[in-house]
Amino acid sequence: MVHPLGSIDLSVVAGTTPCQTQVEMTFLVVDTPSPYNAIIGRPCLNLMEAIVSTRHLLMKLPTRFGVGEARGDQQAARQCYKIVIIDKGKEKVLPVANVELRGDVKPEHLQPIEDVIQVPLE
């Protein structure tokens, strides 16, 4: 289980000039070995209105100047995967830029919007 150390708000720019978009996102900071700098999930993709094709390592998103693209690198993706497999179980210390973390992160728990009624199934 991974426990967050805090969170940080960052400005994220996606796409290539001039078809770029910029959004502010909150990232959880965790202390766990990973070959990735950040993991962007559905809330971020929805915020950018992005469409992702993992097969093509491609993300497309609307911008003021047309459709922007962010392309992945197959070789880099393979290297990341290889690092995870080879270094599994090894502790590595990676340099991290000094950033101010917020320690007020509380896990979100979904609550029902109305009373829940139990119905017996027969």
Distances (CA, A) of 93 to 9, 39, 41, 80, 83: 23, 19, 25, 16, 14
Kindly state the average pLDDT of the residues 12-21: 88
Model-level pTM?
0.56
pLDDT of 100 higher than 70: no
**Is 107 a residue whose pLDDT tops 60?**
no
What is the dihedral angle through the alpha carbons of 68, 13, 84, 57, rounded to the nearest 10 degrees? 0
**Both tokens assigned to 122:** 């027969």
Lowest-confidence pick of 13-27, 46-60, 105-119: 105-119
What pLDDT digit, counting tens, does each position of 44-69 carry? 899 999 999 988 889 999 999 999 99
Straight-line distance from the first to the last Cα atom of the chain, in angstroms, rounded to the nearest whole number: 37
Q: What percent of the chain clears pLDDT 90, i.e. is strictly above it?
A: 17
Q: What is the DSSP string of 16-41?
A: ETTEEEEEEEEEEEE-S--S-S----
